[in-house]
Chains A and B, each alone.
Chain A
Amino acid sequence: MNTVNPAIAPGGQSQKVSLLRVLGPAHVWALGVGIVLVGEFTGWNFSADKGGTLAALIVLWMVGLLYTCVAMIDSEVTSTVAAAGGQYAQAKHIVGPLMAFNVALYLVFAYTMLEVSDAILAGDLITQIATESGATGVTHEPFLMLCIVVLVWLNYRGVLMTLNVNFVITALAFVSIIVLFFSVQPWSQGVVLKLGEMVTPSNALPYGWIGIVAGFQFGIWYYLGIEGTTQAAEEVRSPARSLPFGTMAGMMTLLIAACLTWYICASLLPWQHLGVTFFPLYDAAVVTGSPTLKFLLFWGTVLSAVASANGCINDAARAWFSLGRDRYLPTWFSAVHPKYRTPYRSILFLMPIAVAFVYIADLNQAITFSILSGVLQYTFMSINIVMFRNKWPLGSIRRGYTHPFHPLPAVLLFLLCAITFFAIFLGYGSQLVAMVTFYIIVSLWFHFYRYRYVRRADQFTMPWPKPKGY
């Protein structure tokens, strides 16, 4: 664990207790990639159902572009606003309190719903193994519960151990993809891989170009959550260096994993199957006929789901904790454990919510709510970076990283988010309307009721000069 000595004496002098700066770039990588990598093992492939295998590849590149913009923009702002809450703290300083409140809720919803989806996935996989081994009457409930509770316990006990574990299991899951890739002899098409037979001019885009647009929402799975690296800002030893480095390294890892995943699956599985299966990489391993690969990819899938849920608990709790610290929610949530130096009340508060959703929501609903909240957040980022550069131009404050070609990435990000919203509207219009209505209602609550409790001068903490024009 990261510390064994209490930071303060019980009931003694009011010495301050805060989160512990113990993380390095590898932990940032483990947090970002850990949350996301599960998307290579399941989820992205539904874009093939919407538009065919070629659509899945085009979406991979387009959404990859969207997330590269997200990673670059996020790295620049976070290397300057190094506080727990990540995008919430950015929004608070750059846009304003109402935007910040909404962004924090996007974060909590996106991560909690993703955690729920991951737990369902891991639980279902274990149940499948039990059923295949001949057991009857085994249900997934105990495995779902154990998955969430163990990870909450880990997060409660300290961030260093949490992300050390995430680093190991994420690396193992990533290695399973690499092993599968080299095992199918990618250098000689026709031996194992049969891309030419699986993807033909007649089935590459079975629904035409609209199929590509429809596939966008599932393409998000390839990278959903990489922006979560910023939640570690207050616990990283050198945020200005570690956050951009860890985030960009994570994005490169994901781009490589996504390309390898598409190539293997598109070359081994017909698009009709690829578009509906829940476990494309595992199915690809089964097609090879190798028991070793089957074993490896099964556990790769389980570990990626566990790593993702683990990172999500970490991030959702930091966002909730930050809201409490600024009195956007009761300050009770901003307590830090004096021994483990974690936001323990926020971690515990979110646990029953995740457990409830695990039992009442299905996988599709949970992940759709997660994706919706994520895309709302990315849309905010495109506006946020333009305001950031206008208010504090280059040279006015020190930046750990400066992203190139501004404002092109911001414009591109906004356009790609608009396309993704259209795609979500095509497939999940009612959920989109319900989610937006929810955010409007809570915004009204915050504006007319909760904001009176906020100490307005205390919430802006960065030692920056006045913004340009003020």
Chain B
Amino acid sequence: MSVWTLVSYGCWALSILMVVWMIYDWIKIDGKYTEAQLTSSREGEIEAISEKHNI
């Protein structure tokens, strides 16, 4: 088995490992927090506090 064949297998293995980790983390987070908490971000909230737009 050549080095490049091993590298190819290594790429597949690492890719699968990372995808599995992300899916695991996603499921863990979704189970740990409520949907309302996770989707609580609102556009422009910081601007509403810091920028008054008074010239």
Contact = CB atoms under 8 A, between A and B. Distances in A.
A338 B41 CA distance: 11
Max count, chain A CB within 10 A of own CB: residue among B8, B9, B32:
B8
B42 A16 contact: yes
Contacts of A19: 41
Given A89-B43, A150-B18, A464 B2 contact: no
Main DSSP-derived SS at the A contact region: loop
Interface size of A as a range: 35 or more
Interface string B2-22: 111101110110110011011
Main DSSP-derived SS at the B contact region: helix
Nearest to B21: A153
Contacts of B38: 17, 335-336, 338
Interface string A344-384: 11001000000000000000000000000000000000000
A135 B5 contact: yes
A16 B39 CA distance: 8
Contacts of B29: 337-339, 344
Contacts, number: 134
Interface size of B as a range: 35 or more
A163 to B, nearest CB: 19
A156 B26 CA distance: 10
B41 A18 contact: yes
A145 interface: yes
Given A83-B44, A138-B4, A325-B42, 7 more contacts: A142-B8, A152-B18, A156-B22, A325-B39, A335-B39, A348-B26, A398-B53
Interface of A: 8, 10-11, 14-19, 21, 82-85, 89, 130, 133, 135-139, 142-143, 145-146, 149-150, 152-153, 156, 234, 240, 322, 324-326, 331-332, 334-339, 344-345, 348, 395-398, 461-465
